[in-house]
Amino acid sequence: MARIRTLMLGWEFPPFINGGLGVACEGLVNALAPRSELSLFLPKFRNSASKKKIRIIPTHYLTHPADFDPYLDANQTEEIYNKDLDERVEMYSDEAIEASKEISFDVIHAHDWLTAIAALKIREKSGKPLIFHVHSLNYDRAGPDEQGQIYNLEKQMLQKADHVIAVSHYTKKICTDYYDANPEKISVIHNGISPIQAYRHPKPFPDHLVVFLGRMTRQKGPSHFLEIAQKVLSQISNVRFVMAGTGDQLKTLMTKSIRLGIANRCHFTGFLGREKIRDLLSMADVYCMPSVSEPFGLSALEAAQFGVPAVISKQSGAAEILPEAKTIDAFDTEQMASGILKQLDAGITIEPLPIRDWEDVASDVVTLYESLLNRAT
């Protein structure tokens, strides 16, 4: 089959990211571009200097920037997205629909709800098959009882798309159980990671180091992490807990660490770039991911790449491909603490694990493209 022409609709992309979506899109795009004639439509960044930082401008890309800026500074302590998000999604959709008229493509590949309006209208006008790539759902962010506008848009996409990619079996089950999606048109394609040479750095202190990476929001379970830390410290005192990330709960979490009497053992770093995250993991003794609902959890793969023992929630996609990790119910902070204590007692004994990379993901995606187009002919 000839190289498939793909119109990809994205929203986040490094260096402007608010979570795993941007990182995943970058990894997939870099691996997919040599295998597909890829036209990637992204929001326009604040200024041309920002755009130069993006590594997706080789000749095998067509990047179509919408004429608006949905991002704020990635180093800020507030949410990355501007408050008028609905208006910006609408503007993005209008720009994407217009741009699609000038592009030849065989398949539409849309990432998460922010691209849904554009994707559905382009599918209607072009008649080309639509793939909805689900990285995160309103269910994960707000819980099963919140069924507002975003939930309805996700449900519409899940039911109208020609095919759905879920990043885990965990997410696929949510799609079918809470959104009434047809399981027969959902393929699970786990995320990958960009391979690096792992290394170890000595810690600047003699204590053990337990690391949390992620947004300081309900979904990621940072409040649970502090309760876990308190339980660990009630057993042993020579442990430090680092929470790397930012979000709407950051100040509340700092206050909670004081209330729990563990502030002197907790370090809040704010936003960290990739190199600093890797340096942090190179010193870590245990990685903890207590997310209450985690479609995948790329940070767990990053930790595994460094050979760091992991204690992660059962409510995560990463648990499906990390057999070495201890998986525990996110709400069972007692068992989470016990798992960390056992790992600290054992020390780092595992080697960096062989990790699924983005080339593997791209191969699975191209196979899906081919299957979908063959069915359409």
Buried b (16+ CB within 10 A) or exposed e, 336-356: bbbbbbebbeeeeeeebbebb
Q: CA–CA distance from 52 to each of 47, 95, 99 (Å)?
A: 9, 21, 21
203 assigned to some structural domain:
no
Are both 68 and 178 inside the same structural domain?
yes
Q: What is the pLDDT of residue 81?
A: 55
Assign 349 a pLDDT band (cuts: 50, 70, 90). Answer: low
- Give which of 12, 69, 63 is closest to 41, Cα–Cα: 63
Given a contact cutoff of 8 angstroms between Cβ atoms, the answer to whether 109 and 8 are in contact is yes
Are both 277 and 314 inside the same structural domain?
yes
Range of the domain at 277: 208-346
> In sequence order, what are the residues at sequence separation of 6 or more whose Cβ sits closer than 8 angstroms to the Cβ of residue 328?
311, 312, 313, 314, 335, 336, 339
351 assigned to some structural domain:
no
Copy the structure tokens of residue 153: 């848009």
- What mean pLDDT do residues 19-43 have? 88
Are both 93 and 222 inside the same structural domain?
no
Are both 236 and 177 inside the same structural domain?
no
352 assigned to some structural domain:
no
Q: Please state the separation of Cα 194 from the chain's center in Å.
A: 14
- The whole-chain average pLDDT of the chain stands at 87
For residue 346, the cross-strand partners are: none
Give the total number of structural domains in the chain.
2
| N residues, the chain | 377
What residue type is 131 in one-letter code?
I
Are both 368 and 219 inside the same structural domain?
no
Are both 240 and 303 inside the same structural domain?
yes
Given a contact cutoff of 8 angstroms between Cβ atoms, the answer to whether 68 and 46 are in contact is no
pLDDT over 90 percentage in the chain: 63
Are both 77 and 12 inside the same structural domain?
yes
Assign 78 a pLDDT band (cuts: 50, 70, 90). Answer: very low
- Separation of alpha carbons 376 and 373, rounded Å: 5
Q: Please state the separation of Cα 208 from the chain's center in Å.
A: 27
H or E segment and range at residue 110: strand 107-111
Are both 372 and 297 inside the same structural domain?
no
> In sequence order, what are the residues at sequence separation of 6 or more whose Cβ sits closer than 8 angstroms to the Cβ of residue 369?
4, 6, 36, 106, 107, 131
Q: Please state the separation of Cα 159 from the chain's center in Å.
A: 23
Tell me the pLDDT tens digit for each residue of 213-236. 998 999 999 999 999 999 999 999
Q: What is the pLDDT of residue 334?
A: 97
Cis omega (within 30 of 0) on the bond before 65? no
Tell me the pLDDT tens digit for each residue of 102-154. 889 999 999 999 999 999 999 999 999 999 999 999 999 888 888 888 999 99
Tell me the pLDDT tens digit for each residue of 80-100. 455 577 888 888 898 899 889
H or E segment and range at residue 160: helix 149-160
265 assigned to some structural domain:
yes
What residue type is 224 in one-letter code?
H
Given a contact cutoff of 8 angstroms between Cβ atoms, the answer to whether 253 and 222 are in contact is yes
Q: What is the pLDDT of residue 48?
A: 41
